[in-house]
Structure 1
Amino acid sequence: MDFSDQVRRLVRAHQLGAALSADMQAWSVDSPYGVRASIAEDRLSWDLRLQVPQSPPLADWGFRFGEAVNHLRAALDNLIVAIARQSGVTDEKQLRGLMFPICGTLKEWKSRQKALSCLPNWCRHALEQIQPFQRSEHGGSLDEDLLIVLRDLDNSTKHHLQVKPDLTPQSIRHTPAVEFETEEGAAASVPPDVEVVVGPFEDGAVLLRHRTKGRIKSVEGQYNIMAQVQAITPDGRPHGVTSLLAALWEYTRIVMGHVMGAAETG
């Protein structure tokens, strides 16, 4: 059975992911970001603010991420169509309606049986074995299933043309040295009142805000920030773009291998 088109889809998705990862790393090297401390006018607080000399091309990254996701989903759909053709299905309308089933419930799986009836028994059996609704029987949870994530991301990218990732600070390490105008002000400002601010990754954005009871004379210290480009999945959960794409690619390869292996023994 010829699975060359599906393999090409997998290869293309892998190439897109590798190029995307390389571009992200190149941007972080060419456009290093940093932080700066800024004392308020009343000198009763200070902020830690981002310094971003050049905004990252998030829209382009999101489009390419979405393209890779679409290739993975298409590889699964085309696999089912190829098996149907090999099994003797020639009705183009029927073939166009075929897609790789991704079912979160047994009821949903049963509702797909009519559409899948043109497939050989070995194929339907292999498909049932890897359905997300089976995960609970093996101690897993549905929201962990990468086929569900792939399906929902693919639907999202089709409706919105692209996934729009966020560049989000992951960790902030800082060792500030705050000098107060008076000893009384320093004593009154213990323990420190610190607020972590979640905002856009852009120049001047506030990361941390320290409020004090005494007036601040100066702020010094060492600061380090790490950030990650994240894709927000339709269920609202953030994932690192490159790690998520790598996981989706690997699981798609495993799923395809399972079905293709069944073809050899079916």
Structure 2
Amino acid sequence: MDFGDQVSRLARAHQLGAALSADMQAWGVSTPYGVRASIAEDRLSWELRLQVSQSPSLADWGFRFGEAVNHLRAALDNLIVAIARQSGVTDEKQLKGLVFPICGTLKEWKSRQRALSCLPDWCREALEQVQPFQRPEHGGTLDGDLLLILRDLDNSTKHHLQVKPDLAPQSIQHTPRVEFETEEGAAASVPPDAEVIVGPFEDGAVLLRYRTKGRIKSIKGQYNITAQVQAVSPDGRPHGVTDLLAALWEYTRIIMGHMMGAADQAERRSGA
């Protein structure tokens, strides 16, 4: 069978992902952000604030991420249509309604059988083998299933996709040196009362806040902030954009290989 169009879509998604990763890395190494420590007017607290000198191209990155996801989903959908055509299905209305099923439950899979009835038996069997609902039966879990993530992201990119640089608390490394006005104030401020704040990635955003019992004379220190560009999936979970896209591409490639292998076996059996 000829699967040239599906392979080209997979290649296009890979190209988009590589270009997106390169652009994100270029932004990161340009030192586009830093931090600034400031003491409160009453000198009983201090904050570490983000300084952004060059904002990331979030709108463009989100668009390209969504385009890559759409190509991966389309590669699977078009694969099923190609199999149907080469199996003799000519009804364009029927072909137009065909999609690669991605089912999280057995009930959902059974509800798709009528739409898939035009496909050959070997194809339906191969499709069933890769369905997410099979995971729990083999000791797996639906949490993080890449086919379900691909389906949900593809649906969301048709409407709205959240892509943002997010700061995880563990990405903030700091070694502050606080000097107090009195020794009594320093002693009263142990242990430190610190708050880590994960907020929007924007100039002036508060990252850390320290409250003290004694008045602060000065604050010095070294700080290192690492930002990660994340896509927020429809269930609210954040994922690193480049890591997620690479995982989706690899899993889509595996699924397509499984279907193509089943097609080759069916052809050999029919020609025997």
- Would you say same fold, with TM above 0.5? yes
1:26 matched residue in structure 2: 26
- Asked whether the 8 Å contact 2:102–2:132 carries over to 1, the reply is yes
Which residues of 2 match residues 65-214 of structure 1 at below 5 A? 65-160=65-160, 163-170=161-168, 171-214=171-214
Letter in 2 for 1:107: K
**Match of residue 15 from structure 2:** 15
- Kindly state the Cα deviation for residue 31 of structure 1 after the two structures are TM-superposed: 4.1
Q: TM-score, normalised by structure 2?
A: 0.96
User: Separation in 1 of the partners of 2:31 and 2:68?
Assistant: 25
Q: How far off is 1:126 after superposition? A: 0.2
Percent of residue pairs identical:
83
The code of the aligned residue for 2:250 comes to E
Aligned residue for 1:260, secondary structure, equals helix
Larger displacement relative to structure 2 (31-40 or 142-151): 31-40
Q: Give the Cα separation in 1 of the matches to 2:55 and 2:76.
A: 36
In 1, the alpha carbon distance for the partners of 2:198 and 2:264 equals 52
Mark the runs of 5 or more structure 1 residues left unpaired by the alignment. Answer: none
Secondary structure of the 2:186 match is: helix
Q: Per-residue CA shift, 1:63-113, capped at 9, x if unaligned? A: 110000000000000000000000000000000000000000001101100
Other-structure match for 2:270? none
Query: Which residue is 2:37 aligned to?
Result: 37
Does structure 2 conserve the Cα–Cα contact (< 8 Å) formed by 1:45 and 1:210? yes
Cα RMSD for the two superposed structures: 0.8
Offset at 1:159? Answer: 2.1
Paired residues of 1:63 and 1:164 also in contact (CA < 8 A): no
Structure 1 residues 209-228: aligned runs within 5 Å: 209-228=209-228
What whole-Å deviation, never above 9, does each CA across 1:14-47 have from its counterpart, x for those lacking one? Answer: 0000000000011112243111111111110000
**Whole-Å Cα distance in 1 between the matches of residues 144 and 40 of structure 2?**
45
Letter in 1 for 2:68: A
Q: CA deviation digits over 1:122-165, x for unaligned, max 9?
A: 000000000000000111111221000000000000122xx221
Q: Residue deviations 1:194-252, cap 9 Å, x none?
A: 01111111111100000001110000011111110000001111100000000000000
| Alpha-carbon distance in structure 2 between the residues aligned to 1:149 and 1:192 | 41
* Cα-to-partner distance string for 1:164-193 (whole Å, 9 max, x where unaligned): 212112311111000000111101100000
Which residue number in structure 1 is paired with residue 269 of structure 2? none
Aligned counterparts of 1:166 and 1:32: Cα–Cα separation in 2: 15
Note if contact 1:47-1:210 (Cα within 8 Å) is conserved in structure 2: yes
Q: Matches of 2:9 and 2:38 in 1, distance apart?
A: 50
Rounded to whole Å, the distance in 2 between the matches of 1:227 and 1:146 is 24
Q: TM-score, normalised by structure 1?
A: 0.98
Distance 1:257 1:222 in 2: 50
Counterpart CA distance in 2 for 1:89 and 1:55 is 51
Aligned amino acid, residue 186 of structure 2:
A
Is the 2:194–2:211 Cα contact (8 Å) retained in structure 1? yes
**Is the contact made by 1:59 and 1:164 (CA closer than 8 Å) also made in structure 2?**
no
